[in-house]
Amino acid sequence: MAERDEPTGALVRPYAVTRGRTKPKLEIAIEALVETTVRGRAANTRPGGTHGQEQQYISTLCDGRLQSLAEIAARMQLPLGVARVIVADMAADGLVAVYEPTSLDENESVGTELLERVLSGLRRL
């Protein structure tokens, strides 16, 4: 999908994209990583597929490159809640795999290298 074909929140009202739903089928953390599955790739290439523009864009965006839920929302210029509903629907349909972050024990801490990489990624957005 070309850059000019990117869906934008300015063109479509968020509630129209999710058909009025505000609660996702699955709870997905903002930092969860999303990857297109084999089924998602096949659905994306099928002519006359039943998936909307947003689902096709997410499938293309996450094909071969893990993207966080926050990155997907930012690239689509949609509110995080709307992106969460779309990705959760796609995960429930087996079109994407969602990798939730592991929780840290009280005694563990996040290394500064990881935090610097996250900060660098956010600045690139």
- Per-residue pLDDT band for 27 (boundaries 50, 70, 90) equals confident
Is pLDDT above 80 for 6?
no
Res 39: pLDDT: 92
Distance CA 101, CA 56 (A): 25
Question: What is the structure's pLDDT at 109?
Answer: 59
Averaged over 11-30, what is the pLDDT?
73
Closest to 24 in 3D by CA, of 61, 104, 79: 79
How far apart, in whole angstroms, are the C-alpha atoms of residue 96 and residue 99? 10
**Cα 101-107-112 angle, rounded to 5 deg:** 60
Calculate mean pLDDT across residues 72-90: 91
